Structure 1
Amino acid sequence: MGSGSEQMLNELYDKMKIREVVTNYCRGVDRMDRDLLMSVYHPDAIDDHGFFVGNREDFWDWVNRYHTNAQISHQHIITNHSCELDGDTAHAETYWMMAGMDAKDMTLTLGGGRYIDRMEKREGEWRIAARKCVAEWGGEPAPSKVPLEFMAMLRESGTVARDRSDSSYERPLAVKPERVGINLDILPPEYRPE
Structure 2
Amino acid sequence: MSEVRNADIDYLMARIALDDLAGRYSRAIDRRDMDLLRSVYHPGAHDEHGTAYAGEVDGFIEAMPGLMANFSVTQHQIHTRSFRIDGNRADGELYFTAYHKTIEPMTHLVVHGRYLDNYEKRGGEWRIARRKLVWDAIVSQPVQESEEELLASLGETGKAEDDYSYDALPLMQRGT
TM range (shorter): 0.7 to 0.9
Higher strand share: 2
Instruction: Write the deviation string for residues 34-83 of structure 1: whole angstroms up to 9, x where unpaired.
Output: 10000001111000111111111210122221111x21111111100010
Q: For residue 162 of structure 1, what is the aligned residue in structure 2? A: 160
- The answer to whether the 8 A contact 1:110-1:141 is kept is no
Change (3 A) 1:83 1:144: farther
Change (3 A) 1:31 1:143: closer
| TM-score normalised by L of structure 2 | 0.86
- The answer to whether the 8 A contact 1:78-1:94 is kept is yes
CA root-mean-square deviation? 2.2
Gaps of 5+ in 1: 174-194
1:91 matched to 2:88: no
Instruction: Provide the C-alpha distance between the structure 1 equivalents of 2:115 and 2:89, rounded to a whole number of angstroms.
Output: 16
Identity of aligned residues (%): 33
Deviation at 1:23, TM superposition (A): 1.4
The 5 Å alignment of 1:115-154 reads 115-141=115-141, 149-154=149-154
Gaps of 5+ in 2: 172-176
Instruction: Write the deviation string for residues 104-152 of structure 1: whole angstroms up to 9, x where unpaired.
Output: 1211011110000000000000000011011111122586798655422
- In structure 1, what residue type is equivalent to 2:160? R
The number of equivalent residue pairs is 169
- The answer to whether the 8 A contact 1:29-1:64 is kept is no
Q: For residue 19 of structure 1, what is the aligned residue in structure 2? A: 19
Highest RCO, 1 vs 2 (Cα 8 Å, sep ≥ 6)? 2
